[in-house]
Every structure is written in C-alpha cells, then in structure tokens.
Amino acid sequence: MSDYPYAPSLELYREWQREANHNEPIFLQVAAMAARWGADRELEACLTEVSFLGSRSLADKVRTSRRPKITEDK
C-alpha cells in the first residue's frame, strides 16, 4: 500500500495507533481514522476545484455542511 500515492504515511498510521483507545479493537479505530483522512483529502480537493472556478463561498458552505463540528460529551 505504501506505493499508492494517496495512502497515509506510515508515521500517520503509527500516530493513529498511539491515539487509539486501547480498550477497543485498534484495527477498527485505525480503519475509521484512515477513512476519515481519505474522505477529508477528497473533499478538500473537490473544494479547491470549486473555489478555483470562482465560488469560494460555495466551497465554504459545502465544507460546513459536509464536515460539521461534532462535539463530544465527556
């Protein structure tokens, strides 16, 4: 997978492993983090294109609606 141009770096995988809740299956947590990372990269690439075409405000609206701030109750 390391030769895939859009794969997270090995260091990023290690960071996710360190951040994982070790009382839960680490694989599932790291997989979710990787999916989120990839989706965020794709969204930002798309928004760059929208913004480039002259609609920065549309790009901002799409980002806000697709990545709402999630508050965690702790």
What's the number of CA atoms in the CB half-sphere (13 Å) around residue 14?
3
pLDDT digits (tens, 9 = 90+) for 1-56: 455 567 889 999 999 999 999 899 999 999 999 999 998 888 888 888 778 777 77
Flag whether 19 is in a domain: yes
Count of structural domains within the chain: 1
Q: Is 30 inside any structural domain?
A: yes
pTM for this prediction: 0.67
**Distances from the Cα of 71 to the Cαs of 3, 15, 41, 74, in angstroms?**
36, 22, 22, 9
Look at residue 33 and tell me if it is in a domain: yes
Do the domain assignments include residue 61?
yes
Domain range enclosing 18:
10-66
Is 73 a domain residue? Answer: no
Q: Is residue 5 part of a domain?
A: no
Does residue 36 lie within any of the structural domains?
yes
- pLDDT on residue 73: 46
